[in-house]
Structures are given as structure tokens and as C-alpha cells.
Amino acid sequence: MLWLWFFILILKTMYNPGPFFDKSTSRHCRLSIHIRLIVSHGIEVENTYLGESVQLSIDDGTFNENIECLLYGMHVGERKVVTLQPQQAFGRPDVHRIFEWSRDDFSISISLEIGKVIGFSLPGGDEVEGR
């Protein structure tokens, strides 16, 4: 299981660039949110509360549909904690995105531990996290 925390900081609609404090989230609205993700054995995978918030528009693909649905109807200042199965949060595993490396493939300076999240650079310059 996974635990997700959401906290809505700013809510804007496409029709009015100012914050709406009396409206709830809906399709195409812009959000500034903090999130925290903890996997079932207590390892924190993501936490934006200590830094910058996540900026997104609902339906922009930042999160999958299941997670976006959790944001619908939330208001500025509202907090929500949900428990999800991994497939609910991330979809079904894609066997084409599962890779195996030996310890020799990593620098000695990298501490490898079970459950540790490591950033990997892709050929196009993007970075993805892996475990």
C-alpha cells in the first residue's frame, strides 16, 4: 500500500487567473500543491513539503487519472490523506520499464540499499527515479 498526502495551496481556473477560494478543483484548473508519498514499509519516496510545491493543471498528465480524481472537489487549504494500492497510484507495471543491473554498474560512492530511490538519466536528458 501507499499513503499519499495532498495539500492544495493555490487553485486557479482557466477562465480567471486569480485564486478562487470559494471554488473546488475541477477539470483544467491550475493547482499548486504539496504532496507526500510513503510506501507501505515506511519509506518516504516523495515529499514537497520541505521545498517547492508541484505546479500542474488537472488533465495535463502530471498524475494518472486515478490520482487526479482524488483532487477533484478539493478546496484551497484542504488536506487529504489517501491509501492506495500501487496499481491505483501508478497503473499496471510495464515490463519494458523494468531493468536489472549488477552492483558493478554503479559507482562505489553510491550507497545501494533495498527500497532506496535513485535518479537515472535518460538519453534525452530527462531523469527518472528507480528503485
The string of pLDDT tens digits covering residues 45-96 is 788 888 888 888 888 888 888 888 888 888 878 888 888 887 887 778 778 8
Q: How many CB atoms within 10 Å of residue 12? A: 17
Per-residue pLDDT tens for 95-124? 887 778 888 888 888 888 877 778 878 778
CA triplet 94, 39, 30: central angle to 5 degrees?
75
Positive or negative: CA dihedral 88, 66, 40, 83: negative
Local confidence band at 9 (pLDDT 50, 70, 90 cut-offs): low
In angstroms, the Cα distances linking 23 to 6, 30, 34, 73, 93 are 17, 12, 19, 8, 36
